């Protein structure tokens, strides 16, 4: 605690010398937050906003402080301003889902989810997965247990829900059909299903079951993470009914554009598939992961999937996803990316 007091004294002196320097106020506000002097945090943030009305980080920390104080009304007001500054129209909707779920107003949460895009649903699902009562409600409402998808390797309720309601097939389901594929399965906490298939420096050939109604859709979307290209002879093939088509192959030139991007969704056209289409995916000379395929009617460009979304900065459950948050702040839910103009505590103390 003595170190924090020294840091506050240091930033107070700096603020006295240069009262228009918002960085000193930012750092002092963070230190106040750590020692739980929340009124002083809010006072410093008000000063920052007076000097810089467009400072989104100040509104974010203000929202976080109100939320920590259980002042949800003011937290919502601050976050609304934060969202406006970031042009993120759907952030407030995500807070609304959380409120509905925590108040156990599951029917309202269900109706709100019906209006979300897949991307919004995926980001929200990281939060609602930690609310088993709501999932139980969803499963019952969607009559999940009345469906038998064992022929596709789908056995758990979450995978059933995603397949039936969101047209998502997790590649890890294949291990329930072929135990030899278990050697390629690995955990990934940043993925939706928590399990992915990895090529692990080997060639990998995945044969999917004949998924129902694939021919009804125009585009196949594959969520993948290309970590490293091992050879210029590398490729990724999407093969239907053992009939390879040029349009469904990614060669070295294409794959190199995906290398190092992290999780992305890549789409390919499947217009004109026969009703009994069966997909297989062949990977050669690439270290990569695959989580799922899904079906869509409308085209998308290559889409980068972040590990977590802005909602995570507000809700404590998401701190486990932040690999770039300084250890000092692990339990404070700060994101270095969003708070990049703030020094972490180690930098503060080192500057004393």
Per residue of the chain (352 residues), give pLDDT as tens. 678 888 899 889 888 988 888 888 888 998 898 898 999 999 999 999 998 888 888 888 898 899 888 888 888 888 888 777 765 545 566 667 777 887 888 998 888 777 777 766 776 776 677 788 988 998 999 898 888 999 999 999 999 999 998 899 999 999 999 999 999 999 987 788 889 999 987 789 999 999 887 878 888 999 999 999 999 999 999 998 866 565 588 999 999 988 887 888 888 888 888 877 889 999 999 999 999 999 988 766 555 454 433 333 333 333 333 333 333 333 333 333 333 333 333 343 344 3
Residues 184 and 281 in one domain: yes
Residues 183 and 298 in one domain: yes
The tally of domains found in the chain comes to: 3
Residue 344 lies in a domain: no
Residues 191 and 259 in one domain: yes
DSSP readout, 165-228?
Answer: HH-EEEGGGGGGT-GGGGGGEEE-TTSSSSEEEE-TTS-EEEE----TTGGG-SEEEEEEEEEE
What distances in angstroms separate CA 189 from CA 81, 172, 224, 291, 295, one per listed residue? 31, 14, 15, 12, 24
Residues 178 and 275 in one domain: yes
CATH number at residue 184: 2.60.120
The answer to whether the CB of 203 falls within 8 A of the CB of 280 is no
Residues 80 and 123 in one domain: no
Which pLDDT score is estimated for 109? Answer: 85
Residues 219 and 263 in one domain: yes
Residues 31 and 104 in one domain: no
Q: Which domain holds residue 132?
A: 99-141
Which pLDDT score is estimated for 268? Answer: 86
Residues 284 and 206 in one domain: yes
Residues 133 and 55 in one domain: no
The Cα–Cα gap between 288 and 188 comes to 12
Residue 7 lies in a domain: yes
Phi, psi of 248 (to 5 degrees): -105, 25
- Domain end marker among 44, 64, 88: 88
The Cα–Cα gap between 120 and 114 comes to 11
SS3 271: coil
Which pLDDT score is estimated for 151? Answer: 94
- Packing angle of the helix pair 106-114, 91-102 (nearest 10 deg): 150
Residue 329 lies in a domain: no
Residues 177 and 264 in one domain: yes
Residues 82 and 118 in one domain: no
């Amino acid at each position: 605690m003595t170190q924090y007091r020294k840091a506050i004294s240091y930033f107070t002196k700096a603020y006295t010398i240069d009262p228009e320097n918002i960085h000193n106020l930012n750092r002092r506000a963070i230190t106040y937050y750590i020692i739980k002097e929340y009124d002083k945090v809010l006072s410093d943030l008000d000063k920052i906003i007076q000097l810089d009305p467009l400072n989104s980080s100040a509104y974010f920390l203000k929202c976080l402080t109100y939320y920590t104080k259980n002042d949800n009304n003011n937290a919502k007001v601050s976050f609304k301003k934060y969202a406006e500054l970031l042009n993120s129209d759907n952030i407030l909707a995500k807070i609304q889902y959380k409120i509905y779920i925590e108040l156990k107003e599951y029917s309202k949460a269900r109706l709100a989810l019906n209006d979300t895009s897949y991307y919004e649903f995926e980001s929200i699902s990281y939060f609602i997965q930690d609310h088993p009562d709501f999932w139980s409600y969803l499963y019952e409402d969607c009559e999940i247990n009345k469906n038998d998808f064992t022929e596709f390797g789908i056995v758990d309720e979450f995978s059933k829900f995603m397949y039936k309601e969101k047209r998502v097939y997790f590649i890890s389901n294949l291990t329930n059909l072929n135990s030899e594929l278990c050697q390629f399965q690995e955990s990934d906490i940043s993925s939706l299903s928590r399990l992915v298939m990895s090529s692990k420096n080997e060639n990998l050939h995945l044969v999917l079951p004949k998924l129902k109604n694939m021919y009804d859709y125009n585009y196949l979307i594959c969520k993948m993470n290309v970590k490293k290209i091992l050879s210029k002879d590398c490729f990724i093939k999407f093969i239907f009914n053992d009939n390879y088509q040029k349009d469904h192959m990614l060669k070295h030139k294409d794959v190199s554009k995906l290398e190092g991007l992290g999780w992305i969704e890549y789409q390919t056209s499947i217009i004109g598939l026969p009703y009994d289409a069966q997909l297989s995916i062949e990977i050669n000379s690439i270290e990569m992961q695959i989580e799922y395929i899904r079906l869509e009617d409308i085209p998308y460009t290559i889409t980068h999937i972040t590990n977590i979304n802005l909602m995570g900065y507000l809700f404590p459950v998401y701190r486990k996803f932040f690999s770039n948050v300084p250890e000092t702040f692990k339990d404070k839910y700060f994101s270095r990316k969003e708070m990049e103009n703030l020094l972490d505590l180690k930098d503060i103390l080192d500057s004393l």
